[in-house]
Amino acid sequence: MTKYLVEAINLKKYFPVRRFLLSKDFVKAVDGVTFKIRKGECLGVVGESGSGKTTLGRTILRLIEPTSGDVLFDGESILKFKGEKLREFRRRAQMVFQDPFSSLDPRMTIMDIILEGPRTHNMPIKDPEEFVVKLLETVGLKREHLYRYPHEFSGGQKQRIAIARALALNPEFVVLDEPTSALDVSVQASILNMLKDLQRKFGLTYMFISHDLAVVKYMSDRIATMYVGKFVEIADADKIFKEPLHPYTMILLDALPVPNPKITRARKRREIIGEPPSPIHLPPGCRFYPRCPYAMPICKAKEPELVEVERDREVACWLYQ
């Protein structure tokens, strides 16, 4: 067993956009992302809309085929997996999606939804009913929910079912894409707590994708900030909040409304200019250049690489190189 359960190496995903006739533009959703996740760790990925974080989540699990680059799972390249090996990967790596309302088949009972995975993988289960009940109880639901249909449950409960479904296959790695964004605060709190407990109990490794920095901080050990297809900073969760290094991370943290009027009203922030560039034809140089308060000539000419500037801390910025 390797130390790093998941490794992404210069992962890229470009989506072709047809112009007219033969001409194509490419939306560079993920444009060269490299990182490693240790076993048992939770890596948070934060970014705004258009950052490519959702595409990254799906590409890591090979739900979308990457355009180039590689993903290593437990030391092996998942791009080479076929047949049995691929099935095994799908069992060991699962995903929980954002929208609980559409990720559960409305025509299947909870029992069927949760058993679908194990059945497809021919997992031997002695007593299917007991198996599912145990899972439901793990996520805080009850035996009586077994034969009901998704529409009979609330948003929070549906998300629990989705998580139970992911757990049914006994995975090692779970990608969580905005799992609580559609939920109320109090429901969100209980789902997050549950996810944390499950992680501890089953030794799970998480990739937690969200636009909500506060939630990401609560869940993650390390956090990566993503901007228009690339990671701009990866650091320990506490450190990145106390001392953000990349100007984009600084802006994100400045913009974050904090539920504490004393702090949030005392702080002054710099005016944020501009909007993210189009991910189709990015100008050369650093992609954050037009909005960066510290832009220097070199930032326009050459794109900074993501390099380690301190122990366990990577930043892609010419301020530090």
Partner 1 sequence: MSKPREILKIRDLYVNFYTYAGIVKAINGVDLDVYEGEVLGLVGETGCGKTVTSRAITRLIPPPGRIEKGEIFFRKNGEWINLLKLDDNELRKIRGNDIAYIFQDPSSALDPLYTTGYQIAETMVVHNRADWNEAWKKAVELLRETMIPAPEERVKNFPHELSGGMKQRVVISIALSNDPKILIADEPTTNVDVTIQAELIDLLKELQRRKGTTIMLITHNMGLIAEMADRVAVMYAGNIVEIADVWTIFEEPMHPYTKGLLACVPDPLKKIERLEPIPGTIPNLIYPPPGCRFHPRCPHAMDICKKKRPPRKEIAPGHFVECWLYASEEERKEAEKE
Partner 2 sequence: MEISREISFSEMGYPLLIINVFLIALLFLSIIAALETSSPNLIANCATVFFIAPTIINGLVGYFLGRKGVKRISELSIVITVLFLLVGVFLLYDAVMLAYQGIIRKPKITHFEIALTIPIILIIITYIASEFCEKKIPEIYWRTSRVLGDRIRGVLSSAGLAIIGPTGAFFGVMKMDPLFALFTILYSLVELWRTAEEIKFILGKGRLLSVLRETAERTFKAVPVIHDVKIDFMNVSGRFVVAQISSTVSKFVEEEYVEALSSFMLTELINRLAPIVYLRVVIKLEKPKALTVAVALGDGEIVSKFPSKRVIIVTFDASTREIKEEKIIELKFDEYEKVPEAKAIENLARNRVLVLATKDISEIAKNVARNWFIRVIKTEKENLKDVLEEITQRFLS
**Which of 258, 280, 301, 307 contacts partner 1 by CB under 8 A?**
258
Interface pattern 210-249 for partner 2 (x via CB under 8 A) = ----------------------------------x--x--
| Sheet with 205-210: strands ordered across | 93-96, 173-177, 205-210, 42-46, 222-227, 230-236, 313-315, 307-310
Number of H helices, E strands in the chain: 12, 12
Q: How far is the CB of 183 from partner 2 (least distance, A)?
A: 33
Question: Which of the residues 50 through 69 are near partner 2 (CB under 8 A)?
Answer: none
The answer to the question of residue 321 lying near partner 2 (CB under 8 A) is yes
**Which of 3, 18, 22, 151 contacts partner 2 by CB under 8 A?**
22
Interface pattern 265-294 for partner 2 (x via CB under 8 A) = --xxxx----------x-xxx-------xx
3-state class (DSSP) for residue 281: coil
Q: 9, 33, 59: which is closest to 231 by C-alpha?
A: 33
Paired tokens of 72: 């290593």
Which CB, 106 or 293, lies closer to partner 2?
293
Q: What's the farthest any 2 CA atoms get from each other in the chain? A: 67
| Strands of the chain, DSSP E | 4-18, 24-38, 42-46, 68-73, 76-77, 93-96, 173-177, 205-210, 222-227, 230-236, 307-310, 313-315
10 binds, among partner 2, partner 1, none (CB under 5 to 8 A by kind): none
The answer to the question of residue 189 lying near partner 1 (CB under 8 A) is yes
The answer to the question of residue 186 lying near partner 1 (CB under 8 A) is yes
Q: Are 280 and 19 in contact (CB under 8 A)?
A: no
| Sheet with 68-73: strands ordered across | 24-38, 4-18, 68-73, 76-77
The answer to the question of residue 232 lying near partner 1 (CB under 8 A) is no
Which CB, 23 or 49, lies closer to partner 2?
23
The answer to the question of residue 300 lying near partner 1 (CB under 8 A) is no
Q: Which parts of this chain interact with partner 1 (CB under 8 A)? A: 48-49, 154, 156, 184-190, 192-193, 196, 211, 213-215, 217-218, 238, 241, 251-265, 269, 271-272, 275
**Interacting residues with partner 2 (CB under 8 A):** 21-24, 244, 247, 250, 254, 267-270, 281, 283-285, 293-294, 296-302, 318-321
